Structures are given as C-alpha cells and as structure tokens.
Amino acid sequence: MTVPPPDLTPAQRTEVELLARGRQEKSRTLRDLGLPETPESAHTLLLRLGLWSEARTPYADRLQAALNPVTLPVPDFVPEKRLDLTHLEAYAIDDEGNRDPDDAVGIEMLDGGLTRLWVHVADVAALVPPDSALDLEARSRGATLYLPDQTIGMLPDELVEKTGLGLHPTTPALSIALDLDHDGNADAVDVHLTTVRVERLTYTQAQGRLEAGQEPFVTLLRLARASRALREAEGALSIDLPEVRVKADDQGAAVSPLPKPEMRFVVQECMTLAGWGAAIFADDNEVPLPFATQDYPTREVHGDTLPAQWARRKTLARTRFQPVPGPHHGMGLDLYAQVTSPMRRYLDLVVHQQLRAFLTGGEPMGGKVMAAHIAQASLNADATRQAERLSRKHHTLRFIASQPDREWTGVVVDRRGPQATLLIPELAFDLPLSTPAAPGTELRLRLTDVNLPALTIRARSQ
C-alpha cells in the first residue's frame, strides 16, 4: 500500500527547505518521519509533496554562491588619455544571445610583413578600482554564475551596459597588441588604454564572412593556425570532447550540441594570445599579476579517439594562480594570464586593475596583497563553477527523464575492472556501467530511474 505523503505545517516546511538548501544540518521533521537528515532526503520530500518543482535546483544555495543580482551604483567613465583606434575594424564575436560582450579582435597590417593582432577587452577596471564597493562584491562572488535557467552577474547589468564592446558607437577598452610574423612568432607585444569601434557578430555570421573569403577573418584564421602550431610544438594539449548547451525553465529542459565553427577556434586562439601577451608585458615591466600556471601532464596520451581525448583530459593538472609567472604546460606557454573576461571572472579584473595602474602611473598592488585576493576569489569561483556543474547535470537529467522511451548512443571511454565509464556525446554526459565492452565501443542505451535529488540515473545496454 502506498503511504500518503505527510502534511507539513509552514514551520516544518521552512525547516525542511533550509536543510534541502544546505542552510542547516538537522531537521526534526525528517527525524520524526524516520527519514535521513540529509539535503537529498529533504529535497526528495519536497518533490514528493509538490512543494518544489523539478525545475528547482538547490546547488548554488548549498555552495553559498550568490543568487541575488548586484545592484550597486556604477560610476561613469572619466576623460583620460587613450589611443584612438576607431579607424580600425574590430569584431566582438560571441554565441547568439550573448549579453556581456567583453572582448573583440581586429588586425592592422604593418611594414616588414608583420601583422598586428589587436585584442580589445572592455575596460571594466576603469569603473571598478581595487577595494571599491564593486570590487569587493565581485571578489566575494569570484565569477558570474551561469545556470541553465538564469545568469547572475559578478557585476551589475548597468556596468555591462556601460562597458560592453559594440553596445555603443565607440567604447573605452584595454587593448593588447601582438606584432606577429607569418609563422606566428611575436616580434613585439604592448598594452594600451584605447577607444575602439566594435561590430558585434555571432559565430555563425563570422563563419559566413570567413567562408566568403572576407578580411580580416581570413588573416585571423591564418594567425590562429600559426599560433596553435607553435604552441603544439611546445607541448600544448589538444582536447576535443563534445560540448552542449543546457537551457531550462519551469516547463522543461533542453540539451543541444554546441556548434564548433572554425571561427570559434579563431577567437579562442586570439584570446590565448592576448593572455600570453599581457603576461609578457607585465613580466617585462615587473607588474605582479595573478599568473595562471599548470604543471606538466601526468602522462602522455596519443590518438584522437574519444577514449584518448577523455584520457588526455584526465592527465591535466589543475590550473594554479600565483603572483609570479610560471609555465602553463597544457597551453604550451612559458607564461600566461587570463585577461579577456573582466566582467565575468574576478581574477581577470585584477589583471586589468594591475595593468591599468601601471599604464596610468599608479601603484599596482603588491604580491602579498594579490595572493590574498587570489585565494579569496579562487575559493568563491570554485563554488560558482561547482554550482554550475551540478545544475547542468540536474537539468540534463530532466531532459533525459522527459524521453523515457528514447535510446541513446554511449561510447566506452574508460574502464576500471568490470566497471566502465560511458560518454553520451549528444549530451556530453558520462555515467558508469558494468560491461565487458572495450574502450571505443558504441553501445545502445536505455536510461532509467532518474533521481534528481541524488543526481543519479541508471543505464541499461540494449
């Protein structure tokens, strides 16, 4: 006989919800019902009673990632000396629907066969100086929180509107210039405070211009390929695993493959070059930055199969941030700093604050102060990234549960004894399965018994 769900008083509901959200550790209500006093058990009860919908995700709450928007006032730009680059074309290229365009690319042809790659980044630090109210708020969050059903900015929407590239006829920027020869070698690097004129494009639009043979897209592709070849010669790892978009609302969830046009690679490579150039400039001028470093991979993996890509990713050490430069072996770079997302990542904002202080004759913060900022921001950003990962998994499981009769294709990418790890490429989702199948084997799967509070699912091969 099915036991009817209990009725909860308002006080009991509040108590159970606090446990489900990770805001308290015990629940007398669950104890009296003979249920485990865990967030997962509380979540299960709330679903069973219809008090929470399946769209509700508690992970950001549990990890204490901020869910309230930033509403602090945003100052205006003040007049200052800038290099005028409005005569040059520049393009902010993003996914369709992107709302925070913080970087753009362009080129300038120089004498002697050199091409100057310009990477312009929104001059967020002009409005967010160190230890200002906006800076402290951004540091407490560490990064923008991207959930399948909402985005919670690290900084106010008003700041995005004021600093976003291509949102106004001209925009202040911090711009990294790299003078590159035909083989991608850098003859010089420089950093400037600039004024730029930017056109916004989607990846699809930019890809269309590339395929039509239009400049500067053809030259950008050549530079990106040359740069990638140089980094691979220095040991950079290439990892190509499926990526998806996960979107959700109260009505359901959807998972769709992330398109990978060649222009996506071009933009990514230009952003990598910008980070390398900014790090070189800072090191040459003895400006402390939160340099990104990474140890050698734990082992070498050959091949381009899915199991090889999976194994290669597992060899990567965690990226560390420190106030002194060091090699980033996964990127094949002798030094590197993340610089192109100051709206979205706090340590990128710190890079901008340091470079801006040097360029304007101010005093950059010292290494000890920066180390403290790195530690606090990294901890908070880690919570944000984990909340994103768990929320994406939650809504992916909703998407699977909405299609109970569907068969999925999984690929064995790893195994440990009788237990294998399967990757479902169209979901970018992995799960365990007991099977004798060798790595690389494709299996037809039925996915059943979705448990949202536990974030588990069962797979059965057909």
Q: Output the DSSP codes for 358-370.
A: HHTT--PPPHHHH
Q: What is residue 31's predicted lDDT score, i.e. its pLDDT?
A: 95
Q: What is residue 100's predicted lDDT score, i.e. its pLDDT?
A: 85
| DSSP-assigned states of every residue in 169-211 | SSEEEEEEEEEE-TTS-EEEEEEEEEEE--EEEEHHHHHHHHH
| DSSP run (H or E) holding 230 | helix 217-233
Check residue 345 and report its DSSP letter.
Answer: B
What the chain holds in terms of domains, given with CATH numbers, is 10-66 (1.10.10.10), 83-388 (no CATH), 403-461 (2.40.50.140)
Q: What is residue 5's predicted lDDT score, i.e. its pLDDT?
A: 65
Do 164 and 80 meet the contact criterion of CB atoms below 8 Å apart? no
**417-460 residue pLDDT tens:** 889 999 999 999 999 999 999 999 999 999 999 999 999 999 99
Q: For residues 121 and 15, give the distance between their C-alpha atoms in angstroms, rounded to a whole number.
A: 46
The first and second tokens of residue 193, run together, are: 């405070």
Which sign does the torsion angle of CA 67, 381, 348, 80 carry? Answer: positive
Q: What is residue 1's predicted lDDT score, i.e. its pLDDT?
A: 39
89 closest CA partner among 241, 215, 262? 215
Do 202 and 210 meet the contact criterion of CB atoms below 8 Å apart? no
Q: For residues 430 and 448, give the distance between their C-alpha atoms in angstroms, rounded to a whole number.
A: 14
Do 173 and 120 meet the contact criterion of CB atoms below 8 Å apart? yes
Alpha helices (runs of H) in 238-320, residue ranges in sequence order: 262-284, 306-314
Q: What is residue 238's predicted lDDT score, i.e. its pLDDT?
A: 86
435 closest CA partner among 456, 457, 412, 458? 412
Q: For residues 432 and 445, give the distance between their C-alpha atoms in angstroms, rounded to a whole number.
A: 12
Spell out the per-residue pLDDT of the chain, length 462, in tens.
Answer: 345 567 899 999 999 999 999 999 999 999 999 999 999 999 999 999 999 999 999 999 999 999 999 999 999 999 999 999 999 999 999 988 788 899 999 999 999 899 999 999 999 999 999 999 999 999 999 999 999 999 999 999 999 999 999 999 999 999 999 999 989 999 999 999 999 999 999 999 999 999 999 999 999 999 999 999 999 999 999 899 999 999 999 999 999 999 889 999 999 999 999 999 999 999 999 999 999 999 988 888 889 999 999 999 999 999 999 999 999 999 999 999 999 999 999 999 999 999 999 999 999 998 889 899 899 999 999 999 999 999 999 999 999 999 999 999 999 999 998 899 999 999 999 999 999 999 999 999 999 999 999 999 999 987
